[in-house]
Amino acid sequence: MSADRLSVYEAIRLRRDVRAEFTGEPVDEDTLWRILDAAHRAPSVGNSQPWDFVVVREPDTLRQFADHVAGKRVEFRDALPPERATTFEPIKIEGIVESGTGVVVGYDHDRGGPQVLGRATVHETGVYSTVLAIQNLWLAATAEGIGVGWVSFYDPEFLAELVGLPPGIRPVAWLCVGPVHEFQTVPDLERYGWRTGRPLSEAVHRETFGATGIATEPSTNIAATETIAP
């Protein structure tokens, strides 16, 4: 039990949003299926399992989506103040072609019927469930030495048409999935100076917002487990 718990913590620590580290080799089918199985085992509101996974490997489709994302990247850069545009310019935002495999995660609001147990007052719980499936996929991939990059620079209508999502199924993510040379030790956005993270002590509140009750942040160091080979 202890070893299992440590392996989960280690995967969380190693997980990165991968862009430039893909080897170019496709993830093999057995590994991909294990990763998708982990995603499909995520908890979901009312056991509705509102997700679908479209695996994309056709080079022409990968290139079409990469070209679309490149255009959206330019639009974002051009809308930034000059100093932020300079910081943003070297940041790679996708590895669509390099990864060799895209997994489009879709959300079906109607899955589970009109009365989904647990969604009556918080309608977003279906989307939250789908994001939990993505997190499962990401951590399982990391444990396998497989990188994942979440691409969000796209028009949902374009992506839905590109992969043939039927009406009512909303694209939530395009995930680039593939073997990597390495996992970066520092997130790209920190390495390039876009934004740094904040300590846990700033995010934890006691009883009411703004009351931390924590004088110093406790140690969360975890003993290193076996190194995961890329």
Say which CATH number the domain at 83 has. 3.40.109.10
What is the per-residue pLDDT for 145?
93
144 falls within a domain: yes
What is the C-alpha separation between 172 and 116, in angstroms, rounded? 20
Q: Could you give the angle at the alpha carbon of 46 between the alpha carbons of 40 and 47, nearest 5°? A: 25
CA 187/CA 194 separation, integer angstroms: 10
On whether residue 211 sits in a domain, the answer given is: no
- Residues β-bridged to residue 179: 146
Range of the domain at 92: 8-192
Task: Answer whether residue 29 is part of any domain.
Answer: yes
**In degrees, to the nearest 5, what angle opens at C-alpha 143 toward C-alphas 138 and 145?**
95
On whether residue 230 sits in a domain, the answer given is: no
At 91 the pLDDT is 87
C-alpha 187/C-alpha 59 separation (Å) is 28
Residue 168 resides in a domain:
yes
107 strand-pairing partners: 51, 170
DSSP-H helix ranges across the chain: 2-14, 29-40, 59-78, 82-88, 96-99, 125-143, 156-162, 188-191, 200-203
Q: Please, which pLDDT band fits residue 194 given cuts at 50, 70 and 90?
A: confident
12-52 tens-digit pLDDT: 999 999 999 999 999 999 999 999 999 999 999 887 899 99
In a domain, 210, yes or no: no
Instruction: Tell whether 21 is covered by a domain.
Output: yes
Neighbouring-strand partners of residue 108 = 169
As a whole number, mean pLDDT of residues 85-96 equals 90
Residue 218 lies in a domain: no
Banded pLDDT at 226 (limits 50, 70, 90): very low
How many distinct structural domains can be found in the chain? Answer: 1
Q: What is the CB neighbour count within 10 angstroms for residue 56?
A: 19
User: What pLDDT sits at residue 219?
Assistant: 63
176: exposed, middle or buried (C-beta count within 10 Å: 0-12, 13-18, 19+)?
buried
